[in-house]
């Protein structure tokens, strides 16, 4: 699922919600206070926090409208209600069961979630049965339409271990979507890359003009960034503080995980997790992608504008 990974803990009549980044985020998701009333004491769930409405997840952008907010309005809570989809059970009745096989932990987890109020914010991430790899590939192919990143395979006899353990689980993510875009702005990076231009704004064609569509700063090698930096210094058209407008000549292949409508962007679109796949030295700017192509992609993905976007 494409949300915020977290642990939901119920102990001593109180509940805690921790993010994967080790931030205590209990107060940001008041819907999950139901854990105090229905989860048995000494329960620790591993799962994903999602914006969830009408029986399905909302795009990640809906959840982003709640991240970092000190106060949550009634309207925001109604537009992007949160749910916790449980993957795993780490503690049961105060006992650490991480060494137990996944099949055992899953069976206990199903019993606990079965005791939750129907339609409530505590849910079970459903198992995905399949007969063969082709069957699973079809399920994976439908992941993007379900606002998911792919499928997760886990060994039924595996314990719960920290980090990635080869052979115990495998995240089979969707192949990214791609487009070819023209670099129009450049800005210096940070840290060890502070002397290099690494943060770029990219545009696609809308008729005979270039429209900004996304920003990206990762995916290239240091050698490529050094070469681009030298080019930027020679081909700057205007400066806006730390940002340089450059000649619209360089084309890059941009990978991204999803697309949504967004009135806050000039293009009317926003891309999810954009990054540079490669520098298209073989392609002139005139052959970069067009805005109509991205709009068609949005239409194929459902074309819904995210609440609050």
Q: What is the pLDDT of residues 259-307, one digit of tens each?
A: 888 888 888 888 988 999 999 999 999 999 999 999 888 876 554 433 3
Residue range 120-132: average pLDDT?
Answer: 92
Rounded to the nearest angstrom, the gap between the alpha carbon of residue 85 and the centroid of all alpha carbons in its chain is 15
Would you say residue 252 has pLDDT above 60?
yes
Residue 305 lies in a domain: no
146 and 22 part of one domain: yes
Tens of pLDDT, residue by residue over 205-218, are 999 999 999 999 99
150 and 204 part of one domain: no
Residue range 115-127: average pLDDT?
Answer: 91
Tens of pLDDT, residue by residue over 63-113, are 888 877 778 888 888 889 999 999 999 999 999 999 999 999 999 999 999
36 and 160 part of one domain: yes
Token pair 């990974």 is found at 5
Would you say residue 157 has pLDDT above 80?
yes
Residue 307 lies in a domain: no
Residue 218 lies in a domain: yes
pLDDT band at 165 (very low <50, low <70, confident <90, very high): low
pLDDT score of 307: 36
157 and 185 part of one domain: no
Residue 270 lies in a domain: yes
Residue 206 lies in a domain: yes
Tens of pLDDT, residue by residue over 231-241, are 999 999 999 99
Structural domain count, the chain: 2
Cβ proximity of 69 and 31 under 8 Å? no
Residue 240 lies in a domain: yes
Would you say residue 162 has pLDDT above 80?
no
216 and 168 part of one domain: no
pLDDT band at 147 (very low <50, low <70, confident <90, very high): confident
166 and 195 part of one domain: no
Of residues 127 and 264, more confidence is placed in: 127
Integer distance in angstroms from the first to the last C-alpha of the chain?
20
CA dist list (Å): 193 to 154, 185, 223, 226: 38, 17, 12, 10
Give the global pTM: 0.72
H or E element at residue 19 = strand 14-19
d(CA 90, CA 106): 10
pLDDT band at 309 (very low <50, low <70, confident <90, very high): very low
Q: Which domain holds residue 210?
A: 177-300
228 and 294 part of one domain: yes
């Amino acid at each position: 699922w494409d949300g915020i990974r977290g642990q939901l803990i119920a102990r001593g009549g109180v509940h805690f919600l921790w993010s994967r980044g080790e931030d205590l985020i209990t107060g940001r998701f008041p819907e999950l206070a139901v854990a105090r009333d229905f989860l048995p004491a000494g329960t620790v769930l591993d799962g994903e926090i999602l914006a969830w409405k009408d029986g399905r997840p909302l795009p990640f952008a809906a959840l982003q409208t709640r991240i970092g907010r000190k106060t949550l309005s009634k309207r925001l809570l109604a537009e992007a209600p949160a749910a916790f989809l449980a993957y795993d059970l780490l503690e049961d009745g105060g006992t650490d069961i991480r060494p137990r096989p996944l099949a055992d932990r899953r069976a206990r987890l199903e019993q606990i979630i079965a005791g939750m109020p129907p339609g409530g914010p505590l849910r079970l991430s459903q198992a995905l049965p399949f007969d063969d790899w082709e069957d699973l590939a079809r399920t994976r192919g439908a992941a993007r339409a379900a606002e998911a990143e792919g499928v997760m395979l886990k060994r039924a006899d595996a314990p719960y271990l920290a980090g990635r353990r080869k052979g115990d689980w495998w995240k089979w993510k969707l192949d990214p979507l791609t487009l070819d875009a023209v670099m129009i702005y450049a800005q210096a990076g940070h840290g060890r890359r502070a002397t290099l231009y690494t943060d770029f704004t990219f545009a696609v064609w809308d008729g005979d003009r270039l429209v900004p569509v996304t920003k990206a700063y990762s995916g290239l090698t240091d050698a490529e960034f050094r070469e681009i930096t030298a080019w930027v210094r020679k081909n700057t058209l205007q400066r806006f503080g730390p940002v340089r407008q450059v000649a619209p000549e360089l084309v890059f292949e941009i990978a991204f995980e999803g697309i949504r409508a967004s009135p806050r962007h000039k293009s009317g679109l926003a891309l999810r997790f954009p990054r540079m796949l490669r520098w298209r030295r073989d392609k002139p700017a005139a052959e970069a992608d067009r805005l109509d192509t991205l709009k068609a992609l949005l239409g194929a993905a459902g074309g819904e504008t995210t609440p609050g976007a």
